[in-house]
A and B are shown apart, each in its own frame.
Chain A
Amino acid sequence: MSLRLFTFAAPARFYALAGALIPWLWAATALLAAAGLYIGFFVAPTDATQGESYRIIFIHVPAAWMSMVLYLVMAFWAAIGWAFNARLASMVARALAPTGAMFTFVALWTGAFWGKPTWGTWWVWDARLTSELILLFLYLGYIALINAIDDVRRADHAGALLAVVGAVNVPIIYFSVKWWNTLHQGATISMTAAPKMASTMLTAMLLMTLAFWAYAFAVVFMRTRAIVLEREQHTDWVGALAHGKQQPQGAGS
């Protein structure tokens, strides 16, 4: 009975399922991003105080959210892989790290390009910006650590430890604007208060967030599939798969 629950935890099953989902995830990414950008640039009005510079919000806030969420997801799967010796969970954790690092960099970069016209500076060492920079270093440290250890299971365990300890940084980032005085504005969206922004702006931002979610699933699934092949090289199913796709002699690169 409980066996069915773990059906997709088998790398071979996951490989097939993710492969089937990836084209749909890319289609969703493209449609959501097109809708979000259209509303963001052509429907949402000019901001009364910030002029057109505020339009950076449509990528800045979704990227910052993804940077934090993906870290927690990475730490979660790394911990599961460690605690239950679940191979696929460790592979997913590995696959998440580059995407999380990319979104963290995007949040920092777009923040700098928004900070310059609104605050007059590209960068300040305040709580929100500094803790987000530490998040980037945690991602890079995790990637460097797992690649520095040759034994993959040992690398997974060491990475999991770093990821779980580093997770304490995520609430610090999130609440930094409340706990300390910072240049950065407060939370854009609150569960308890009515949104302070025009509804079209909010719609564009949420559509871009969904687009980034679909993107993250698509690219992480692609990378997980690659990692599955790397690690299951010796198995019959990967051997058969590799040969099924073999190109005629001389045609391949």
Chain B
Amino acid sequence: MNWGSAGDFFAMGGYGLYVWGSYLVTAVLMLAEPVLARRQHAEALRAARDHDDQET
């Protein structure tokens, strides 16, 4: 085990800003991208429905 306490873990041996600054931004982007892709899919489905309704 590398860390004596939660405080140790978050401090990252004095490199907390750099380690967590990297991981946080990566996590935000990798969580946001699927949400945006899902929204694009929902919108495409809605547009297909409108298109179909207009024809019939």
**Which chain A residue has the least Cβ–Cβ distance from B32?**
A102
Interface string of A79-117 (1 = CB under 8 A from B): 000000000000000000011001001100110011011
A51 touches B13 (CB 8 A): yes
**Which chain A residue has the least Cβ–Cβ distance from B17?**
A113
Q: Are A229 and B41 also in contact (CB < 8 A) when A114-B18, A222-B34 are?
A: yes
Q: Which of A123-131, A133-141, A161-169, A232-240 contacts B (4 or more CB under 8 A)?
A: A232-240
B47 touches A113 (CB 8 A): no
B22 touches A59 (CB 8 A): yes
| Residues of B contacting A46 in the complex (Cβ-Cβ under 8 angstroms) | 2, 13
**Which chain B residue has the least Cβ–Cβ distance from A221?**
B37
A218 touches B21 (CB 8 A): no
Rounded to whole Å, the gap between the CB of B46 and the closest CB of chain A is 8
| Residues of A contacting B26 in the complex (Cβ-Cβ under 8 angstroms) | 59, 63, 106, 109-110
Give the docked Cα–Cα distance between A51 and B12 (Å): 9
**Which chain B residue has the least Cβ–Cβ distance from A116?**
B18
| Residues of A contacting B38 in the complex (Cβ-Cβ under 8 angstroms) | 222
**Which chain A residue has the least Cβ–Cβ distance from B34?**
A219
| Residues of B contacting A226 in the complex (Cβ-Cβ under 8 angstroms) | 37, 40-41, 43-44
Which secondary structure dominates chain A's binding surface? helix
Give the docked Cα–Cα distance between A176 and B33 (Å): 30
| Residues of A contacting B13 in the complex (Cβ-Cβ under 8 angstroms) | 46, 51-53
List B42-56 residues whose CB lies under 8 Å from chain A.
43-49, 51-52, 55
Give the docked Cα–Cα distance between A246 and B51 (Å): 13
**Which chain B residue has the least Cβ–Cβ distance from A58?**
B23
**Which chain B residue has the least Cβ–Cβ distance from A56?**
B22
| Residues of A contacting B49 in the complex (Cβ-Cβ under 8 angstroms) | 242-243, 246
Q: Select which of B2, B33, B55 is within 8 A of A102 by beta carbon.
A: B33
Rounded to whole Å, the gap between the CB of A23 and the closest CB of chain B is 12
| Residues of A contacting B19 in the complex (Cβ-Cβ under 8 angstroms) | 52-53, 55-56, 113
A223 touches B30 (CB 8 A): no
B1 at the A/B interface (Cβ < 8 Å)? yes
**Which chain A residue has the least Cβ–Cβ distance from B50?**
A242
- Known contacts A109-B25, A225-B41; 7 additional CB pairs below 8 A are A41-B9, A45-B2, A59-B23, A226-B41, A229-B48, A239-B55, A243-B52
